[in-house]
Amino acid sequence: MPELKLSTEISASVWKVVLWRALTAVVFAALTIFWQEPSAAFVAYAVAAVLLVSAKFTWDYARNDSAPAYLKAPMAIECAAWLVAAIIIVLIPQPLVIGIAAAAVFALSGVLDLLLWLRHRSDYLPLKDQLMTGLVQLGIGVSMMFVLSMDAHAIGGVVGGGMVIIGVFLLISALGYRHDAKSTSDSR
* Average pLDDT for 86-114: 97
Range scoring the smallest mean pLDDT among 32-36, 132-136, 168-172: 32-36
The amino acid occupying position 151 is: D
The model's pLDDT over 120-145, given as tens digits with 9 standing for 90+, comes to 988 888 889 999 999 999 999 999 99
Percentage of residues in the chain having pLDDT higher than 70: 94
* Average pLDDT for 16-40: 94
Binning pLDDT at 50, 70 and 90, where does residue 186 land? low
Position 4 scores a pLDDT of 58
Range scoring the smallest mean pLDDT among 40-54, 61-75, 129-143: 61-75
Position 13 scores a pLDDT of 86
Binning pLDDT at 50, 70 and 90, where does residue 89 land? very high
Give phi and psi for 187, each to the nearest 5.
-80, -5
Is the per-residue pLDDT at 10 higher than 50?
yes
